[in-house]
Amino acid sequence: MQRRLTAFIAMWGIVLSAMLPWWTVYADETEPFRTDPSGSMLPPPGYADLRQPLTVMLELGDSGAALPAEMMAPQSAPLDPVEIRRLLEAANIPVLFQTHTAYNGIAVIATPDQLRLLRAIPGVVDIHVVAPKARSSTRAVSFIGAPQFWSATGHLTGNGVRIGIIDSGIDYTHATFGGPGTPDAFRSNDPTIIEAGTFPTEKIIAGYDFVGDAYDASGRIGSPIPNPDPDPLDCAGDGADAVRRISGGHGTHVASIAAGYGVDAAGRTYRGLYSGSVSYADFLVAPGVAPGASLVALKVFGCRGTTTFLTRAIDYAIDPNGDGNTDDRLVDVLNISLGSPFGGENDPDVVAINRAVDAGVVVVVAAGDTGGTFYAINSPSSAGKAIAVGASVDAGRDPSLSPDSLDLLTSRGPQRSRQLKPDLVAPGVALRSAAAGSGIGALALSGTSIATPQVAGAAALLRQLRPSWSPAQIKVALMNAAVPTRDAAGNLYPPSLAGAGRLDASRLFAWDLLAFDAEDPAAVSLSFGAPWISRSRSFQKTLRITNAGHFTRTLRLAPVLAADEPGVQVEVSPGPYELGAGQTLDLPVNVSVQPETLDFTPDATTPLLQAGVPPTFARYYMAEHSGVIEVRSTLGARIRAAHAGDFDRVTVYVGDQLLEESIRPARVGRYIPFRPGRQQVRVLPPGAPPTTPPLVAAEFDVVDGRDYTIVVYGSWSRPQLALVDEIPEPSLPRDQIMIHVFNGDPLRDGSAVDVYLDNVLLAANLPVGAASAFSVTTPGAHKVRFFRAGSSPATSSSAASKEFVAGSGEVILVVGGGNSSWSLRGFTGRGRLINEQTTRVPFQIVPKSAAESAATATEQIVPDAVPSFTITLRNSGARNQLTSPRGAQTPLVSAYELAPEGRSPEIAGLNPALRPADIRYVGVTSSYPERGWEGNNTVIFFGMAGYAAWATPNEVQYRVYISTTGPGGSGSPDDIPEFMLVNTSIGAILPIPGGGGATRPDDTFRSILYRIQPDGTLQLLRIADWNFVPPPTASPFLDSAPFETSVLALVTTAGFLGLSPAAPVFSYYVETYARDAGGFTERVDRVPPSGVITYDLRSAAVAPLNTSPATGVVRSGLPTPFFFGIDGAQIAGTVNQDVLAVRRTQDVLLLHHHNAISAQAEVVTLQSSRSAPTTTPPGGYRVYLPIITTP
């Protein structure tokens, strides 16, 4: 054993020893190249961190890849985890933690140079660089309807449910958690130990600090080495900065929103009733969504900075003793208000979350605050089984917006594996909640961090209400019950921004219809992906609907569009269907696409500018077709009985079904569903057989989806019946009390009445047997009084009265009845609007019209003495128009000279998430052969193709390193580059004002040229558009397809590289980096594998180039290698016959930017006619040999 460790350490020893005012400059998209005159733009993501240590998760398994033969001892059997840890510690590789249940791995700190060696340890299946997670940046509880839930369920508030808060800790001294509620209590608490009697508490029942206050994963503002302790006390908060990273206090704020008791106006912990009838408006800190739930504080942040300890905290939460059995898990719900942008499925944190859900935990994660950038949804909210939460705007905070609009910074999906995210949104702007260290104070913060605990609290309420439901069912219900969100203009937000809609806890108490994707139940949403489609095509998914209630529901279905692409049809059979209690119905949802009619129109909520304050740069976008499948379900006609008569008990039948057995006077029964249509109501003496002649009978027409009260009133000798509709007008606000009254003849003489609510006239001259229209009033205590109509004074002749307390969302019927007892003349019936449910299931497809362009011949001979060549294209696909709005149907093909070194084999066994960075081809072309030396107008293009498509360019970097001079600044170019040409976005390199150097990657994709300074730092020289084609909103109004593609072009000029007409020669190599490879710090591929490729502008064998706007792209008079790829079009360029003859053949790389992924790269071989074999004549050749004789 020791020999094995010694061998590894000896091998590693070698490696270890080696270890703003200027924004308007960019507004003009007609400028092909732009600059950064202020010098404030940054290097591309990851470049500055190439030598910085990383947090790396070693994924453990039964076997690992063997080390290279020259680097390892003969043994190759897997090391067990103990051996691996000994090896790491002996080599001074800091071990951060080890996990077993949520993820089988060991987290370490390593440099990029050490990654290959870590991956090669036997027993290590793979390594994953863990992206540091940042904290995602009182009226809200009412806005989402939590008090209505409390009231409707008999005051269920989450009792017995445990919510884990993985965050910066919790200030358990704050009054909202039942603490002493003084700043001194916080200041005197030592955060490294647990003082007697301070922790745990009644509210915060467990916790742990995994890192210590001085920890910061980046090492920039703290130590990357943790110093854990048992006390999860939060740091004092100091508010939120422009990027919504909060230094301390974050966990306290989040925990209070999820489950705080509240702090009343007097500064005391609130211990009163949680109900829709109580106003919390004057509270210093409003109660949380689930104030009865317990909290578990899992501290993974220091007082400032980022963290990589999420997986460790999840593992502890679901298996605290590490024995692999999760029966002892500490939590029922996990709140994770942290993340890093552009989440996929490769992050160990994502794997850990999915396993936590499998262990029975509902996991709620912030979607992030990266703005409306496509695919920017945070990791780990990208976990398929997690509930990803975006941020909406509460109209009470921003009156200029509609009540359910979105925060402009909430992250947009889908996630990079094309699954639709976020799942839903909740209020997340300027929410006041507990301030750490203040004792009783509050702090207003914004972001998806603040939206997330509202959903976590709602999940806790559901867990108490439905203890047998799985985490998947909880997720389905939360999404299904969400309500639509619209912008200020009334446009629906698409699901890629809003998911199913805004959380509505008020509807959850009676939610019993669950609808979701049958093939992927954990996802809920119907995600059809982002396919390239060249011919008419249909897609199908199965919508599964389960009735988890006790009554049959009638279902009607319809798609409701938020984003509409012409040429796409979503079809689902509308029904009606009857679904009995406990039954399940599967229905196909068909999406058909006619690709030739797609018009690439952005949805109305997508801004066309991004980056800068205000946004200044034209962006690229995707055109989605999305919305929700609405399942409108009803319980039929719900009917109940009310007894307002001046006589004893009666029995009530509807048809042959018993409605109420022996109902007493001044009582209202329960609702029972009946079939819609005409129903006969019969009133019998108590205990009478159903065949007994009725005391009174009447027929009424009742409608599906509505509620009714059958009121029995009058005298025994003359009983009467009235039908009262209990569904208020849709225009009335549902967060108030909806009230109406019924005149049941309280004066017992047939008189009309005037009815007052809290001394304000509610209904005048209301006749006997009639109900008033609905009115609204505020939740709380109220009094209704009935008076004889026309009395003078008006309230001189009292008939009946009733005092009551009601909460928001309640429907109240106050009846003035004719009972001989005054106390029974006024009574109430209560209800809630649950008959009709609208269940929402999001769907999305992002279809792209595809070409089928290809060369008609992949080999052709170039005639001698001809200075040009052409390659004819064929195209039988849908995208085949020379011009089209926004380029929706115009295919682009670019062409390049392909050197032999520009081919690269596929990397075997590469993680699928990294395959877009696996280089397939690299080609070059320039305008020099066609137009001669033009300095800064001599354009040079690099065309590149990978082996797989990226969802967004924000997940991959192709870096072209260029050398133009040799050592000392003279001589031939070598392999020491002076320039780097790279793809990135403006948002990724533009510091956010006041953000401390932080950036926010977006959809403003660009080609950036940097000068590499002698010290290795970068100086930005020029910025050009992606593929040298502006975004579709700018001339020439073309779509250059940056999303869902495997090909790209980067551009610079000879002048920018400092070339001269005497020596227009440079060398280059290409490296690729990926977000999933250490945040662009670990190289994925290099072409060539070593050395460089030299390119002489004068000696190019071929130089494909388009010079006419009629046949391709021209920018401000500058030619490009981009041609229109329509059927019969030609790729053209110059030929250097002498060079071609020497080379014999020259490959041309064609990039078909709008083909399906598998057909985006093509190679055409041009052959010189000088080296081409001549044609054999008919009959072949005859050879004559001379006869030589010897003298």
> pLDDT tens digits, residue range 432-466?
899 999 999 998 888 888 999 999 999 999 999 99
How many C-beta neighbours within 10 Å does residue 187 have?
11
What pLDDT is stored for residue 365 in this prediction? 97
Average pLDDT over residues 106-111: 91
Paired strand residues for 628: 560, 842
Q: What percent of the chain is predicted at pLDDT more than 70?
A: 90
pLDDT digits (tens, 9 = 90+) for 915-932: 999 999 999 999 999 999
| 4 or 1079: which leads in pLDDT | 1079
243, 263 contact by CB (below 8 A): no
Q: Given a cut of 90, is residue 671 above it in pLDDT?
A: yes
Position 27 scores a pLDDT of 38
Q: Which residues of 116-147 are buried (b: 16+ CB within 10 A; e: fewer)?
A: ebbbbbbbbbbbbbbbbbbbbbbbbbbbbbbb
pLDDT, average across residues 941-947: 98
CATH number, domain 512-623, options 2.60.40, 1.10.150, 1.10.287, 2.40.160: 2.60.40
Tell me which amino acid residue 482 is: A
pLDDT > 70? residue 36: yes
pLDDT at residue number 5: 39
Greater confidence, 92 or 701?
Answer: 701
Q: What angle do CA 859, 860, 864 make, to 5 degrees?
A: 150
pLDDT tens readout for residues 260-308: 999 999 999 999 999 888 888 899 999 999 999 999 999 999 999 999 9
pLDDT at position 160:
97
pLDDT value at residue 38: 67
Q: Which tens digits make up the pLDDT trace of 607-633?
A: 999 987 778 899 999 999 999 999 999
Residue 237's nearest CA partner among 229, 223, 228, 247 is 247
Residue 71 pLDDT > 90: no
Q: What is the pLDDT of residues 996-1039, one digit of tens each?
A: 778 899 999 999 999 999 888 999 999 999 999 999 988 889 99
Q: Are 208 and 298 in contact (CB under 8 A)?
A: yes
Strand duo 333-336 + 362-366: pairing = parallel
Q: For position 1173, what pLDDT does the model report?
A: 52
Question: For 517-561, how does the pLDDT look when each residue is reduced to its tens digit (9 = 90+)?
Answer: 999 999 999 999 999 999 999 999 999 999 999 999 999 999 999
pLDDT band at 1185 (very low <50, low <70, confident <90, very high): very low
The residue behind tokens 């993820």 is: 103
Contacts of 101 (CB under 8 A, 6+ apart): 315, 318, 319, 322, 324, 326, 355, 359
Of 1146 and 34, more confident: 1146
Q: Residue 144: what pLDDT?
A: 82
Average model confidence (pLDDT) across the chain? 89
Q: Helix or strand or coil: residue 162?
A: strand
pTM above 0.75, yes or no: yes
Higher model confidence: residue 111 or residue 688? Answer: 688
Task: Write the CATH number of the domain with boundaries 145-510.
Answer: 3.40.50.200
- 768 three-class SS: coil
Would the pLDDT of 1177 be above 90?
A: no
Contact 328, 320 (CB under 8 A): yes
pLDDT, mean of residues 652-663: 96
Q: Tell me the DSSP string of 189-218.
A: S-TTS--TTTSS-SSEEEEEESS-TTB-TT
Pairing status of strand 609-610 against strand 617-618: antiparallel
Confidence of residue 385 (pLDDT cuts 50, 70, 90): very high
Choice among 22-26, 29-33, 242-246, 410-414 with the minimum mean pLDDT: 22-26
- Highest mean pLDDT among 489-493, 792-796, 1131-1135 belongs to 1131-1135
Q: How far apart are CA 591 and CA 430, in angstroms?
A: 40
Q: Where are the beta strands (DSSP E) in 990-1090?
A: 1005-1012, 1018-1025, 1045-1053, 1065-1074, 1083-1087
Residue 842: pLDDT band by 50, 70, 90 thresholds? very high
Which segments of 913-953 are extended strands (E)?
919-926, 939-950
Q: Strand pairing of 362-366 and 387-394?
A: parallel
Region 378-405 average pLDDT = 70
Residue 142: band (very low, low, confident or very high) from pLDDT cuts 50, 70, 90:
low
Split at pLDDT 50, 70, 90, the class of 1171 is low
Q: pLDDT by residue (tens digit) across 843-861?
A: 999 999 999 999 999 999 9
Does the pLDDT value for residue 66 go beyond 70?
A: no
Round the CA-based radius of gyration of the chain to a whole number and report it. 36
Q: How far apart are alpha carbons 255 and 460 in whole angstroms?
A: 13
> pLDDT, tens digit, for every residue of 963-1003?
998 654 455 677 789 999 999 999 999 988 877 778 899 99
The predicted pLDDT at position 972 comes to: 66
d(CA 407, CA 165): 23
Q: Report in angstroms the alpha-carbon separations of 119 from 108, 122, 913, 1080, 1131.
A: 12, 8, 16, 17, 45
What is the Cα–Cα distance from 1113 to 168, expressed in whole angstroms?
Answer: 52
pLDDT beyond 80 at 25: no
Taking alpha carbons only, the member of 1028, 1053, 985, 1057 closest to residue 1116 is 1028
